[in-house]
Amino acid sequence: MRALNGVEPFIHRCRVYYEDTDAGGIVYYVNYLKFMERARTECLRDLGYSQSTLAEEGLLFVVHSAEARYHAPAKLDDELYVSAEVVELNRASLRFRQQVRRARDDVLLCDGQFVVACVRADNFKPRAIPKQMHEAFAGQSGAGTSNAAGE
Just list the catalytic residues. 22
Cα separation values, 8 from 11, 30, 35, 41, 51, Å: 9, 26, 19, 17, 23
Q: List helix spans (H) across 92-130.
A: none
Q: Residue 60 corresponds to which amino acid?
A: L
Report residue 23: phi and psi, to 5°. -60, -20
**Measured between alpha carbons, how far is 41 from 141 in angstroms, rounded to an integer?**
15
